[in-house]
Structure 1
Amino acid sequence: MNTSTSTNVSSSSVSHAQQVMNKLEDFDFPYCDEVTKYEKLAKIGQGTFGEVFKAKHRQTKKVVALKKVLMENEKEGFPITALREIKILQLLNHENVVNLIEICRTKATPFNRYKATFYLVFDFCEHDLAGLLSNVNVKFSLGEIKKVMQQLLNGLYFIHSNKILHRDMKAANILITKNGVLKLADFGLARAFSISKTSQPNRYTNRVVTLWYRPPELLLGERNYGPPVDMWGAGCIMAEMWTRSPIMQGSTEQHQLTLISQLCGSISPETWPGVEKLEFYNKLDLPKGQKRKVKERLRAYVKDPYALDLLDKLLTLDPNKRIDSDNALNHDFFWTDPMPCELAKMLSQHTQSMFEYLAPPRRRVVQQPHAGQPGHQKGMQPSAADGQYHDRVF
């Protein structure tokens, strides 16, 4: 090919590319509006999942939450994890599950290399539970704690009935509106599950759930798991309603299992038949001779005997014996005085939104305070630089 022909081909391909780009800019997405219809008001969340903003619809003035879909690692196409989250959220329509309104995008232009950014648009909730618990001025009565846990378990009952696992239960993912309605949020790690046939066990990843809320079966390498993984997280959150701080703040998987053993007793085939078959059972140093002391250790904070009994059943080592959401909702804790009572009145005293992201930096609690004086500082997420901590966390 001579030089002039080559130049012609080259310029023609450039003009063709430009035409494609121009078409892209003008392309109409009838079911995916531009995010500019919302005005961002404040950043309210940040994590590995991306950023979350409080925003307002420019015309209707409706306040929403915008969750940015992380696209950095995508060579092309839409992240499969975000697609899974969207599909699950579209399936789940319940008062105690966060509501996905729509998906919005930025316009593809030369300035963003024709790569649109996508946002999930949710109904706005004024608080998350971690933010509320980190504020010493927010005081929950026993009836209000019951209402929080009743709504949380209602949400779990609904998603588990629809064969969905949340897989990231923690106080920061529990949203509460100013009217006191609780919503399970952040389904970025959620997935559908099936009851496995004996011949073919499920092979789900065990690298899910924030470390401090991760159940012992996942820490020991279980990949054939189900709803009990969320129920363990519910137990950790329930205890936190009194301690005001995550109850087991491990810095590594090994440390987390040590803390679990010190609270829930040694992990062994006697208390948990079949545990010896799990991948890491013989590879990790599991404390021996530890007695179960869930009620004993939490009694300094939790005075209600029914609450202690439900906590004991939620924080059961063997997932096959751990209480499920249906039986938890029928527990005497919810059916004795004081009965669950609405949160709206208590929350009306607090006009500022409370989110973990907006709370001041907090040091972790490592000593047990005097009985009746629960520590209120909220622990931060552990990192490799955290160093060593006392094993007594609450």
Structure 2
Amino acid sequence: MVVSISARFRATGQLSAKIARSNINISPGDALAQAKAIEKDFAKNASSEDHYNSLVAAFQPEPQNDSPSGLPTTTGNSARLEPPQLEPAEDEPTGISFGRYRNCKHHSMGGSSTIFKSRDPASKELVALKVTSNWVQPHDAHRESRLLKRLGGDETHILTILETETLRGEFILVFPYYPLTLVDIMEKGRSSHLPRIFRQVAKALSFVHANGVIHRDIKPGNILLKSEEGPAFLCDFGTAWAMDDHHPDEKADHKVIEIGTTCYRPPETLFGFREYGTEVDIWAFGCVIAEAENGAPLFEAGELGTDLRLILSIFQSLGTPTLNTWPEANRFPDFSKMLFNEFPSQPWQTLLPNVSSEALNLVENMVTYSQQKRFSADQILKHPYLM
């Protein structure tokens, strides 16, 4: 990423002025020196010129004890830094604030949002701030906030939303902060707590589906954990579809098919089927269980994450389907447009050699071509693996 010298010069001046206003005792030379160091870091971490400008706009130094009162506490665009190798110390100033949340620390970044970690100034509890500005359907932060307000809660194992706020064009959702995701657990190898965690995720999906909502992005990173033992909470409803709250162009029989994440995408969407239902969540959830139990993804989308590579991986594993073995495919717009190599189905014991018979049986009933044969979330809750 290259930023012009003139743009960097202007940015350094803006940063220096902010630092000087926050500390009336600092010399102009020291303020400029600090600004140069901060600007250099922004230029190094920015992925684009817009990203660079957002970092400069978001920077707000912590006011010193003897600085003037009444300094603004809100910032402009979110600071979209790449995840640091080490998280800043709890008391280390970051210069980033959103409304009453000061000293916000960059936590992670998604396709249309950035997550910051901060502390509620009143309760002193850690919170996560999901900052979104521009998004493209099916992403919708406002819909996500509406859904979480009626679905979230400890008893439903769905992330609770604490508050929302709009600051300078950015929509901010505030949640309780949870230190782990299922990804962190999986990186350590198989955990004995997986059945308990997955039971809680199944409870969340059961409640979600009963309320006419399809999550559409079930993956390990969207399963938050309070500890390695749980409890677990389903999060990120940014691309969810709801029967009573969806985009006007995305009716029940014409949903978008660009859903899910790489190896968790269900096969019906890969062939253009837009009338899908909650079964897409079940397929993805089954892939998550298989990966967590076996230590490797069930299917591979290749380095580029392409649909064709994922289709090949699914066919090589489950066998090439036909209209006889997958009659629903007769309704898929793109299924009959291609000729496929015929691959035999692999035994599930071969696909998941490190998985118990109970877990294997559950996955087999979730990751199946026929949507009608996939277990529902309520059926999953009754399975012996989760007992």
Query: What TM bracket, shorter-length normalisation?
Result: 0.5 to 0.7
In structure 2, list runs of 5 or more residues that go unmatched. Answer: 1-71, 73-96, 245-250
Query: 1:127 corresponds to which residue?
Result: 180
Deviation, 1:41, is 4.2
Any conservation in 2 of the 1:160–1:227 contact (CA below 8 Å)? yes
Query: 1:54 corresponds to which residue?
Result: 117
SS at 2:203 equivalent: helix
Given candidates 305, 320, 337, the residue that maps to 2:357 is 305
Any conservation in 2 of the 1:231–1:322 contact (CA below 8 Å)? yes
Given candidates 69, 89, 100, the residue that maps to 2:148 is 89
Deviation, 1:269, is 1.4
Given candidates 333, 338, 362, the residue that maps to 2:385 is 333
Deviation, 1:201, is 6.5
Any conservation in 2 of the 1:266–1:292 contact (CA below 8 Å)? no
Rounded to whole Å, the distance in 2 between the matches of 1:270 and 1:159 is 32
Query: 1:17 corresponds to which residue?
Result: none
Structure 2 counterparts to residues 118-267 of structure 1, below 5 A: 118-134=171-187, 136=188, 139-141=190-192, 144-178=193-227, 180-193=230-243, 202-250=253-301, 251-267=305-321
Deviation digits for residues 329-362 of structure 1 (CA, Å, limit 9, x no counterpart): 1112223xxxxxxxxxxxxxxxxxxxxxxxxxxx
Work out whether 1:37 is the aligned partner of 2:100: yes
Query: How many aligned residue pairs are there?
Result: 280
Any conservation in 1 of the 2:263–2:299 contact (CA below 8 Å)? yes
Query: 1:288 corresponds to which residue?
Result: 342
Any conservation in 1 of the 2:144–2:237 contact (CA below 8 Å)? yes
Deviation, 1:212, is 1.0
SS at 1:313 equivalent: helix
Rounded to whole Å, the distance in 2 between the matches of 1:240 and 1:139 is 10
Amino acid at match of 1:203: H
Deviation, 1:54, is 1.0
In structure 1, list runs of 5 or more residues that go unmatched. Answer: 1-25, 27-33, 107-114, 195-199, 336-394
Any conservation in 1 of the 2:127–2:174 contact (CA below 8 Å)? yes
Deviation digits for residues 291-343 of structure 1 (CA, Å, limit 9, x no counterpart): 24333320x211x21111001001111111111111111112223xxxxxxxx
Query: 1:317 corresponds to which residue?
Result: 369
Any conservation in 2 of the 1:268–1:276 contact (CA below 8 Å)? no
Any conservation in 2 of the 1:100–1:123 contact (CA below 8 Å)? yes
Work out whether 1:269 is the aligned partner of 2:323: yes
Any conservation in 1 of the 2:279–2:376 contact (CA below 8 Å)? yes
Rounded to whole Å, the distance in 2 between the matches of 1:216 and 1:184 is 23
Rounded to whole Å, the distance in 1 between the matches of 2:267 and 2:360 is 20
Rounded to whole Å, the distance in 2 between the matches of 1:105 and 1:276 is 46
Deviation, 1:282, is 2.1
Query: 1:101 corresponds to which residue?
Result: 162
CA RMSD in angstroms comes to 2.4
Deviation digits for residues 162-199 of structure 1 (CA, Å, limit 9, x no counterpart): 111000111111111126111111101001138xxxxx
SS at 2:334 equivalent: coil
Deviation, 1:240, is 1.4
Deviation, 1:60, is 2.0
TM-score by length of 2: 0.68
Deviation digits for residues 4-27 of structure 1 (CA, Å, limit 9, x no counterpart): xxxxxxxxxxxxxxxxxxxxxx9x
Rounded to whole Å, the distance in 2 between the matches of 1:56 and 1:285 is 56
Structure 2 counterparts to residues 71-86 of structure 1, below 5 A: 71=134, 81-86=140-145
SS at 1:150 equivalent: helix
Amino acid at match of 1:104: E
**What percent identity do the matched residue pairs reach?**
28
TM-aligned CA distance change 1:210 to 1:139, over 3 Å: closer
SS at 2:259 equivalent: coil
